[in-house]
Structure 1
């Protein structure tokens, strides 16, 4: 019987550095010199284990590891492997490194490492040089004999010039006469067949303590400046980074934190740590009453998302008297009408918060705060001594006498006034109201244009809206701006099926048919032009602050990546693919789907991995699940049904999809679903995640070697929240693509399987593909083109196949807007080439060398150029990750944040 996993867990900072930066913290070891022989043997074993996971240590990291004592190396290596396995989902049965150290160091580790390295070289010659940390542009990487460490041609020449004995610069072993290992061997060819085409080793670097501190500070600043809500992984990162923040918040806290939930989380953390220095900062950061409520929620240890229903179940934490007075002072400073309206918006939550604030105790000092609570509670003013003070209530408050003789306050809300104007068809009045709140105006753009089309068909934009829009667009955050752009850019028809994503902690969706009047192109096109101009203006402002680029490099595949939205409800994933994005399936004829879960003690949870198949018209054609383990001529094969997953190992189910066989069987779509058969929500599990691997036919057939291949894992997501049915992705078998959905399907009580929910799943999948059809949503391509056109006069665009490379140069008299439009539509390139993908990647790498560039790629499969600087966004890792730190790495959220309004302080509600 296998023993449970006893791997030494790393700290949260170790995990963060490994996941975000590919860096490893190593404790100081002995001074440089002759390493311990057991350490040298253990390091070889560790390198082999890392290579199996697709990673390789660079020279500084290897030097730091070889100075460790054998026991320290075993602990560090175990922690590193456990961290990598946790990211891939391969840590559930992972055995610790050197369990019987030192007697148990495997003698075959070097042979394994050598075969794996040569297999990687056969698949992709542009691997990483472990000394200079560059990938060769001329395929000059080789494996030294006998140690198999990777070295480029330049470093090898330097070695032969300065070392007559010719020792490996990493491990100091004497080199063989041939110097380089042959790659065309049976073992290397066998290892290469099990790797994806073009697969490269990912470098692991040594993290110095000073570097780690700088990375933490920079990452914290980026998260606080974010213009879109954080996903679950980023929220965990924020909590970690706040633990390592400087003591005095006034010295580092920015003047504005755009996302209100982040603001509440940060302030609550700082109040718990140092209330005396944090309380004076509250008035500047709490700009609405809802900000105060979010802070109270975060102070009580809850998510400050104020979701419906949480007010009834949340146990609020008492507020110290100084903090209570400070919050009442903040509330009292707001206009009383706006304050009362904000309190009514979250009435049940404020009723509970009022029990902590005791507003009537301080009615003489904070009368407006007390009056707003009187509106929410519908209290008698005279009963609380507020009658004499508020007989002449400021607008929009009104004093009324009830038949019973009580004095009450009422308020006419902003939303009620807007709805009344729209119901009357009075668009100018509605626009005048909405212009005071730019975010609301932009969110309601589609509704406003519909009202215009219904009441005044064949008429242009009303003057009031045309005048108010430019100012509103300048002030609104990127989320509403890009949402309106995506909604208006594509023509819509009567009866279209619309997809809605309600606020929640898990991503759920529902659909309905929309029979409203479509917005004509004559109304939507001018608005889209204004939004495009505003995006370009913001990109130009960002360039003014950060400096221009000599070159911009874009992937046309960015058009398949939807701008991130509803990130609060996104699952934690290995690769941060935005929901609704379409990606080509990696090379390999087989997909191996998996789900792993572990239940609590004295609990039974039965998760089922299932695949539902549909034809072109979304008619159900078959399934592969616990009721049907084999579909057709083994086109889909289920590994078997586990009905319980006890600790310490849990249980894992697999489904293999033979893509070629499924295509011949008549199925067009394969919808991947994870069911909680006995209706236990995912959040009740100790651990649960799902994902997929891509395998070659030979690898898929070798069941005896194990079903889980960590190096083949392409995506995984955590199953969390109150959901019981998760739809991670939809596979289009005809186009060999998958749409990443990360959605949950609503379910009633009872048992769940494909047969019961096949209609709902098919309808949801059809709606998802319609909702995210090309051209209907804002994409990273839109942002990339705006950033490239505004920041550089030369732009290279690589097509989706990787073979075509178009080069665009802005004309001397060409306006930036015209250049951006030419890029966005990929019209009239100045030069275009067609060549193998490796040659295209080589050309890009050569051009990036020594250049300040804006680079946005789907795959970072370009060799790391020497001396490159600028900005890099990439979705999937690759050799370009080995570029120097002068190349700033950004995420999709960071790219969106570059399109913040002027000043970057537009609050997001």
Structure 2
């Protein structure tokens, strides 16, 4: 299983440790199969496979092909309701009438509609035998379509040869554990799996993200290994939540399980060590007092008198002891109107000072601005690079008042409110930016020669894995990708889901917005056609999996913005179904092919969020007529049932507009900072032959980099962020 995980995650194939032989026929066969899925093997990978005995070579080839197909969603069957989609899709009302006619006038195979549904003056489409269920097999679908005609514009992703499985596992574990940014849900689970595999290895020198540290420590505690040291009481609370199968981010309450004596000793011992000699750290307890009280009921601290400082934690949570916190003192000073005093207090918590800059600066007098900036300069060296980049990005959008303010939580749930904040004056923003830029430049590594693929420059910095999804070629929220479209090219969205225990109906829809981001039209199960946009048909249950498609002829539509969305109409949500994904393809109409062709897939993302309406991405046409995709990774709350694009058009449009008009800190920013230290920064030219090792920065690693080169690609972009 780890083999395929590493291939999907890194595009590297672990080197097989097997007997030598003639595996060349297997290598050639594997490469031919990969081409059909939009992949190719690097020269080194083919040479390695060719040198293995055939049985071992075949085992490697099967893993590689399986992983490649899963990356783009080709490991499942993608049928379409309308057999010849995108051709032959009827008008919506015409289709409904035909379903009704078949049910009442010409029922097939003895199926009958429930007549009571018709006598009350209304019709339930789900009662019609022909509605919402595939009327043909996948084999019949393929037989009805010509084979795909290859194109030089079809996607080709190179798979490279890696190190041994053990070495790749260890490297990936260290990379995730030492990540400077929080990981997404899928990566946290992968970290736990890798931590178990590497439990007896030397651990990373630093695990800066506390959620990651809790995941690693939960594995180490379960395996009776020494914990990686913690330095706050909240670290221990996160660990207890993880051990109980709860939320390590502490965003949702955890129901603590019964702990063994060994676990209780470990947790209380860690608490005692954190508080001993650092009584001020008890100030963190009040923030999660309810969770601490529940945890205390299970840890029985009174049974462990050797951990007296741990008992103090629960005394504070119960209100038996009062601890005045630094944040409380800062808030008291702020309410008195003394911004300078507030800044001086917050110098004891540098991260909190930086996160409070907006509030301090927009209320400060000119003299207090100097005090705030002096405080910032005095502590900036103690603030993580991720926090500095986050504030730098925040300030990009604070010189003016936004028409709306977008809020997103860790589960990617989004909502919009009026922005009532006063802007921060432009000259103040410039002064703060200069301080931050100077500090980050000093922390940038000296790359030597840095070769940059221009395609990566508009990728938003991955400041948190929570602002993205697991998948293939998925970029962080705010990242923009230019679409290379011919006059007859079609953008095709697809969504696939498979229900777990309850009949589930997801609906793929598309919202079309005009120049002012106002409603211009939509396509969904209630409207099959609109202005060159076509829907593949509604599937209303997915016991064996179901797929819906939408075709958009971007060169022909009048809308300026296209916002695909997936609505949960009924049944299980995105977090509950067995599988769910969204992606898009690009191909010319003359290429023909089945509705789903893996080598035309540009990206595929998981859909895992707590809302009932998913907004994965938006497409925008600029003044020159060039289309680009901007990742959203947002979810709307929606309603428990019957979500439709017509009902959420206002909120979806407002969210799309806010994200599309927001300025993000991109990879280009860090590339500019790196020029001060790099020997040279040059753009990558496809096909370029490099004579000496370089540091390559791009979405994917190209074939043929010189030995000794370092590649920083999509899966490692967070490594760019200075520590």
For normalisation by structure 1, the TM-score amounts to 0.67
Residues 781-796 of structure 1: pairs in structure 2 closer than 5 A: 781-792=668-679, 794-796=680-682
Give the structure 1 partner of residue 484 of structure 2.
Answer: 586
Conservation of the 8 A alpha-carbon contact between 2:585 and 2:601: yes
Alignment match of 2:405 (pick from 486, 494, 498) = 498
Conservation of the 8 A alpha-carbon contact between 1:54 and 1:711: yes
Distance 1:44 1:274, change over 3 A: same
Tell me how far apart the structure 2 counterparts of residues 885 and 498 of structure 1 sit (CA, whole Å). Answer: 48
Distance 1:417 1:76, change over 3 A: same
CA deviations 1:185-214 (Å, max 9, x no partner) are xxxxx99963243x67544445553xx333
Aligned pairs, number: 651
Corresponding residue SS for 1:562: coil
CA deviations 1:746-770 (Å, max 9, x no partner) are 1232211111111111121122223
Tell me how far apart the structure 2 counterparts of residues 69 and 617 of structure 1 sit (CA, whole Å). Answer: 63
Deviation at 1:479, TM superposition (A): 2.2
Corresponding residue SS for 1:47: helix
Conservation of the 8 A alpha-carbon contact between 1:624 and 1:637: yes
Give the structure 2 partner of residue 292 of structure 1.
Answer: 236
Tell me how far apart the structure 2 counterparts of residues 333 and 477 of structure 1 sit (CA, whole Å). Answer: 26
Is 1:643 the counterpart of 2:543? The answer is no
Deviation at 1:264, TM superposition (A): 1.0
CA deviations 1:131-188 (Å, max 9, x no partner) are xxxxxxxxxxxxxxxxxxxxxxxxxxxxxxxxxxxxxxxxxxxxxxxxxxxxxxxxxx
Conservation of the 8 A alpha-carbon contact between 1:694 and 1:714: yes
Tell me how far apart the structure 2 counterparts of residues 425 and 884 of structure 1 sit (CA, whole Å). Answer: 60
Alignment match of 1:272 (pick from 222, 227, 230) = 222
Conservation of the 8 A alpha-carbon contact between 1:864 and 1:881: no
Structure 2 unmatched runs, 5+: 79-145
Give the structure 2 partner of residue 717 of structure 1.
Answer: 605
Alignment match of 2:641 (pick from 750, 756, 759) = 750
Distance 1:527 1:243, change over 3 A: same
Corresponding residue SS for 1:518: coil
Deviation at 1:330, TM superposition (A): 2.1
Tell me how far apart the structure 2 counterparts of residues 14 and 535 of structure 1 sit (CA, whole Å). Answer: 36
Give the structure 2 partner of residue 258 of structure 1.
Answer: 208
Distance 1:552 1:356, change over 3 A: same
Deviation at 1:59, TM superposition (A): 5.6
Is 1:227 the counterpart of 2:180? The answer is yes
Tell me how far apart the structure 2 counterparts of residues 233 and 636 of structure 1 sit (CA, whole Å). Answer: 33
Is 1:761 the counterpart of 2:652? The answer is yes
Is 1:439 the counterpart of 2:330? The answer is no
Conservation of the 8 A alpha-carbon contact between 1:460 and 1:523: no
Tell me how far apart the structure 2 counterparts of residues 469 and 447 of structure 1 sit (CA, whole Å). Answer: 14
CA deviations 1:344-403 (Å, max 9, x no partner) are 11112111211232223345x44343233122113xxxxxxxxxxxxxxxxxxxxxxxxx
Deviation at 1:259, TM superposition (A): 0.7
Give the structure 1 partner of residue 514 of structure 2.
Answer: 615
Larger deviation, residues 523-532 vs 77-86: 77-86
Tell me how far apart the structure 2 counterparts of residues 760 and 314 of structure 1 sit (CA, whole Å). Answer: 37
Is 1:415 the counterpart of 2:327? The answer is yes
Distance 1:678 1:21, change over 3 A: closer
Deviation at 1:300, TM superposition (A): 2.5
- Which of 1 and 2 has higher RCO (CA within 8 Å, sep 6+)? 2
Deviation at 1:867, TM superposition (A): 4.4
Corresponding residue SS for 2:493: strand
Is 1:668 the counterpart of 2:612? The answer is no
Corresponding residue SS for 1:560: coil
Is 1:32 the counterpart of 2:16? The answer is no
Aligned-residue RMSD, C-alpha = 2.9
Deviation at 1:421, TM superposition (A): 1.1
Conservation of the 8 A alpha-carbon contact between 2:268 and 2:301: no
Tell me how far apart the structure 2 counterparts of residues 433 and 536 of structure 1 sit (CA, whole Å). Answer: 27
Residues 788-867 of structure 1: pairs in structure 2 closer than 5 A: 788-792=675-679, 794-796=680-682, 798=683, 844=685, 862-863=686-687, 865-867=689-691
Conservation of the 8 A alpha-carbon contact between 2:27 and 2:49: yes
Deviation at 1:71, TM superposition (A): 6.7
Deviation at 1:599, TM superposition (A): 1.1
Corresponding residue SS for 2:404: strand
Corresponding residue SS for 1:677: strand
Conservation of the 8 A alpha-carbon contact between 2:162 and 2:168: no
Give the structure 2 partner of residue 886 of structure 1.
Answer: 708
For normalisation by structure 2, the TM-score amounts to 0.83
Tell me how far apart the structure 1 counterparts of residues 307 and 18 of structure 2 sit (CA, whole Å). Answer: 58
Alignment match of 2:4 (pick from 14, 26, 41) = 14
Corresponding residue SS for 2:664: coil
Alignment match of 1:697 (pick from 589, 593, 611) = 589
Tell me how far apart the structure 1 counterparts of residues 21 and 9 of structure 2 sit (CA, whole Å). Answer: 29
Alignment match of 2:373 (pick from 449, 466, 483) = 466
Is 1:522 the counterpart of 2:427? The answer is yes
Is 1:82 the counterpart of 2:47? The answer is no
Give the structure 1 partner of residue 86 of structure 2.
Answer: none
Deviation at 1:230, TM superposition (A): 1.5
Deviation at 1:61, TM superposition (A): 4.3
Larger deviation, residues 60-69 vs 349-358: 60-69
Conservation of the 8 A alpha-carbon contact between 2:452 and 2:698: no
Deviation at 1:269, TM superposition (A): 0.9
Is 1:307 the counterpart of 2:270? The answer is no
Deviation at 1:738, TM superposition (A): 1.5
Conservation of the 8 A alpha-carbon contact between 1:439 and 1:480: yes
Tell me how far apart the structure 2 counterparts of residues 681 and 752 of structure 1 sit (CA, whole Å). Answer: 12
Distance 1:558 1:57, change over 3 A: closer
Deviation at 1:562, TM superposition (A): 1.7
Tell me how far apart the structure 2 counterparts of residues 478 and 289 of structure 1 sit (CA, whole Å). Answer: 23
Distance 1:362 1:713, change over 3 A: same
Is 1:355 the counterpart of 2:305? The answer is no
Distance 1:888 1:191, change over 3 A: farther
Tell me how far apart the structure 2 counterparts of residues 764 and 257 of structure 1 sit (CA, whole Å). Answer: 34
Residues 70-219 of structure 1: pairs in structure 2 closer than 5 A: 76-93=60-77, 194-197=150-153, 201-207=156-162, 209=164, 212-219=165-172
Conservation of the 8 A alpha-carbon contact between 2:615 and 2:632: yes
Deviation at 1:432, TM superposition (A): 1.4
Larger deviation, residues 891-900 vs 520-529: 891-900
Conservation of the 8 A alpha-carbon contact between 1:318 and 1:356: no
CA deviations 1:766-820 (Å, max 9, x no partner) are 22223x2xxx33221111111232222x333x5xxxxxxxxxxxxxxxxxxxxxx
Tell me how far apart the structure 2 counterparts of residues 369 and 71 of structure 1 sit (CA, whole Å). Answer: 58
Tell me how far apart the structure 2 counterparts of residues 553 and 438 of structure 1 sit (CA, whole Å). Answer: 35
Distance 1:338 1:66, change over 3 A: closer
Give the structure 2 partner of residue 367 of structure 1.
Answer: 308
Conservation of the 8 A alpha-carbon contact between 1:47 and 1:56: yes
Deviation at 1:553, TM superposition (A): 3.5
Distance 1:569 1:306, change over 3 A: farther
Tell me how far apart the structure 2 counterparts of residues 490 and 260 of structure 1 sit (CA, whole Å). Answer: 28
Deviation at 1:900, TM superposition (A): 3.7
Deviation at 1:681, TM superposition (A): 0.9
Deviation at 1:84, TM superposition (A): 0.9
Give the structure 2 partner of residue 245 of structure 1.
Answer: 198
Deviation at 1:894, TM superposition (A): 4.8
Conservation of the 8 A alpha-carbon contact between 2:491 and 2:586: yes
Is 1:574 the counterpart of 2:472? The answer is yes
Tell me how far apart the structure 1 counterparts of residues 568 and 597 of structure 2 sit (CA, whole Å). Answer: 25
Deviation at 1:441, TM superposition (A): 0.4
Deviation at 1:301, TM superposition (A): 3.3
Larger deviation, residues 749-758 vs 560-569: 560-569
Give the structure 1 partner of residue 101 of structure 2.
Answer: none
Conservation of the 8 A alpha-carbon contact between 1:332 and 1:368: yes
Residues 670-685 of structure 1: pairs in structure 2 closer than 5 A: 670-685=562-577
Distance 1:511 1:362, change over 3 A: same
CA deviations 1:318-367 (Å, max 9, x no partner) are 4525424423422441533431x21111112111211232223345x443
Corresponding residue SS for 2:570: coil
Conservation of the 8 A alpha-carbon contact between 2:256 and 2:295: no
Tell me how far apart the structure 2 counterparts of residues 80 and 62 of structure 1 sit (CA, whole Å). Answer: 12
Tell me how far apart the structure 2 counterparts of residues 243 and 583 of structure 1 sit (CA, whole Å). Answer: 37
